[in-house]
Amino acid sequence: MRRSPLLWAASLAVYAFLYVPLVVVVVFSFNDSKLNAEWVGFTLDWYHKLFANAEMLHAAANSLLIAVVASALATVLGTMAGIAMHRFKSRLLPFMTLTPVAMPEILLGVSLLIFFISVFGEESLSLLTVIIAHTTFCIGFVAIIVRSRLAGMDESIFEAARDLGATPWQTFRLVTLPLIMPGVVAGALMAFTLSIDDFVITFFTAGAGVPTLPLQIYTMIKIAVTPEVNAVSTLLMLLTLTMIVLAGKIAPDVLRGKG
């Protein structure tokens, strides 16, 4: 393919639009000034401050715990849902699984809040309710990825496994699971990132006692956008990047976007 200069310029502009704000955040997290205005000098002060900030650390711990547990649950349930959607060609099943994906977050947040309060009472809002809420909206994402992975597969492979003596469980463990693993990993990753930066649903279901990282950042910037916020955002970015690289290692074809 010939590369025209115009195409080059256009793609450069798009990438700039995407990445310049991120670069700005990273750069100013190392800036020796309280203002996000001009470069003064390099410092790690904001990171020191961040790690001395007990509230922030507590929020980060909460976020990590929620993301790990919710993405693990969503991965297991979502994989099962994806397989079920593939196996039983019902119309209702995808509809029910995918609705939380398409639903406006605010609606999901409000309805989960009402559900938790009316069924378990006001004081039930806790880490547990956040985890349940996050699991709920992540299942659909995992299920879609797993199902699309299965959709391209020759059905007779699974019959062949049974035919050659594998029980249904052995077929799942030795054939189905390894084949959908890239999808499962991608789904888990997606669930983790969705969970760790979720604000709206967490806001409704967390109650007072469970600050998460996004909630904490929100509280902080209500006062002022300090370089500390830049620092925590940079770390969050680093975490996400690591996960993507990791996923690329475990399941190379996820990043290449091939089935």
Binding site for other proteins (CB under 8 A): 154, 156-157, 159-167, 170, 174-175, 178-179
Closest to other proteins by CB, 34 vs 162, is: 162
Residue 160 CB, nearest approach to other proteins (Å): 4
Residue 162 CB, nearest approach to other proteins (Å): 4
Residue 174 CB, nearest approach to other proteins (Å): 8
Residue 173 CB, nearest approach to other proteins (Å): 12
Closest to other proteins by CB, 128 vs 166, is: 166
Closest to other proteins by CB, 220 vs 247, is: 247
Question: What tokens appear for 225 in the block?
Answer: 């956008």
Closest to other proteins by CB, 86 vs 134, is: 86
Closest to other proteins by CB, 170 vs 242, is: 170
Q: Is the dihedral of CA 24, 30, 36, 39 positive or negative?
A: negative
Closest to other proteins by CB, 26 vs 250, is: 250
CA–CA distance, 212 with 8 (Å, rounded to integer)? 41
Residue 91 CB, nearest approach to other proteins (Å): 19
Residue 167 CB, nearest approach to other proteins (Å): 6
3-state secondary structure the chain: CCCCHHHHHHHHHHHHHHHHHHHHHHHHHCECCCCCCCCCCECCHHHHHHHHCHHHHHHHHHHHHHHHHHHHHHHHHHHHHHHHHHHCCCCHHHHHHHHHHHCCHHHHHHHHHHHHHHHHCHHHCCHHHHHHHHHHHHHHHHHHHHHHHHHCCCCHHHHHHHHCCCCHHHHHHHHHHHHHHHHHHHHHHHHHHHHHCCCHHHHHHCCCCCCCHHHHHHHHHHHCCCHHHHHHHHHHHHHHHHHHHHHHHHCHHHHCCCC
Closest to other proteins by CB, 167 vs 219, is: 167
Residue 76 CB, nearest approach to other proteins (Å): 21
Q: CA gyration radius for the chain?
A: 22
